[in-house]
Structure 1
Amino acid sequence: MKRALVVIDVQESFRQRPNWAASSNPEIVKQVGRLTEAFRATNGTVVWVLHTEPGTGNVFDPASGFVRLMDGLDAGPGEPVLHKTSHNAFTTTNLQQLLTTLGVRELVLCGIRTEQCVETTARLGADLGYQVTFVTEATATTPIEHRDAPPGRSVAEILADPRTLPVAEVIARTEYALAGRFATIRTVEEVVSG
């Protein structure tokens, strides 16, 4: 079965946000790099996806200069770089058309944020009939504030709030929700050696 590595939102935008200091995986570039090298070594398909929010003036606005792959990552020759404005990588891109044209039936997903854009892509990919592998250790997320938390708090205040969902719980909940329903959970090593 032909497969593709889809790297979602591993972009400098996230490093510009204060909450990146509390990231679950500040070294995500290393794991993503291992996956891309493995796919390239076997002439596999690698697709890069970047999140954009044009006209917002924030770090996801292309005008900010941060909507680019994190330092240490580069799209190789012929590897598409798609720009999305939705949470999942399908709705506002031509990803499905691209995968269909290439005959891809299995997706290997990694990126930022574990429970948001990567999980949403996994769910939609499964609904579209793809076999989905979710490489949790090549994802990253940040603590999630309680829905009633006041806006504008510092990272220290967010982390001190007992209602904040810590990154370990975010990741565990994502794996519980996906495994056996929408995706198979694999490590980087399992994907690289498999």
Structure 2
Amino acid sequence: MNRALIVVDVQESFRARPEWSRMADPDIARSVDRLVALARDRGDLVVRVLHTEPGTVFDPERGHVRPLAELAPALPGEPVLTKTSHNCFTTTELQRLLTEAGVTALTVCGIRTEQCVETTARIGSDLGYAITFVADATTTDGVGGFSAAQIVERTEAVLRDRFARIATVAELEAERAAERTAGAGGLAVSAG
């Protein structure tokens, strides 16, 4: 199965908003970088998607539409797309890129757990991709009287087993370690 990591809106535009001080995880780059390293180790496609919106801090003219400074930079061949919708599919060439790469499974993470990340997971599921939603590699602020923790909990509940598998960064790292161990054992047996 070919996989891709979709990094949704982990960009400086959010840091330019007053709501940034209320983000549940202002160190989101750390978790995202762990997922990027994991995806690269597996040979998965890594795609970063940035939100744009004229007249706001998401307007490219204002200079904030770029990945968070502390994120590891994209490597050559890793697409960086811009979108104008809440999901990463509707206004980008993401689906074409995934199809051309033979991708059948997506891991999603990013900023605004309940908005752009969740919407991308739902649409990806509807398009037939197996989705892994990494809640501890997303962040949001409290909105509508709900805390960020309540929003994450709600998002996990509505996605789980309907649209996505819910996982943590540590769980995915442990799975990769198990794959390596099984692979090493398999090589030793076949060489013997």
TM-score by length of 2: 0.89
49, 59, 62: which is aligned to 1:61?
59
When the two structures are aligned, how many residues end up with a matched partner? 174
Counterpart amino acid of 2:29?
V
Instruction: Give the residue type in structure 1 aligned to 2:80.
Output: V
Q: 1:190 aligns with which of 150, 167, 171?
A: 171
CA distance in 2, matches of 1:191, 1:67: 29
Distance in 1 (alpha carbons) for counterparts of 2:68 and 2:28: 9
C-alpha distance in structure 1 between counterparts of 2:173 and 2:119, whole Å: 23
Aligned match of 2:79: 80
RMSD after superposition: 0.8
Aligned partner letter, 1:36 = V
TM-score (norm 1): 0.88
Alignment of 1:128 with 2:127, yes or no, is: yes
Quote the Cα distance in structure 2 between the aligned partners of 1:193 and 1:98: 28
> Paired residue for 1:169, among 150, 175, 180?
150
Distance in 2, matches of 1:42 and 1:177, equals: 29
Q: Where does 1:5-154 land on structure 2 (aligned, <5 Å)?
A: 5-54=5-54, 56=55, 58-73=56-71, 74-145=73-144
Distance across 2 between alignment mates of 1:132 and 1:172: 17
Alignment partner of 1:105: what SS? strand
Distance 1:4 1:192 in 2: 15
Please give the per-residue CA displacement for 1:100-152, whole angstroms capped at 9, x wherever unaligned. Answer: 0000000000001100000000000000000000000000101103xxxxxxx
Percent pairwise identity: 56
Amino acid at match of 1:67: V
Unaligned runs of 5+ in 2: 176-192
Post-superposition shift, 1:40?
1.3
**2:186 aligned residue:** none
Cα separation, 1, equivalents of 2:135 and 2:141: 14
Name the aligned partner's letter for residue 162 of structure 2. R
Which position in structure 1 is the counterpart of 2:185? none
Structure 1, unpaired ranges of 5+: 146-163
Structure holding more helix per residue: 2
Displacement over 2 Å in runs of 4+: none
Instruction: Give, in whole Å, the separation in 1 of the partners of 2:129 and 2:42.
Output: 20
Distance across 2 between alignment mates of 1:38 and 1:126? 22
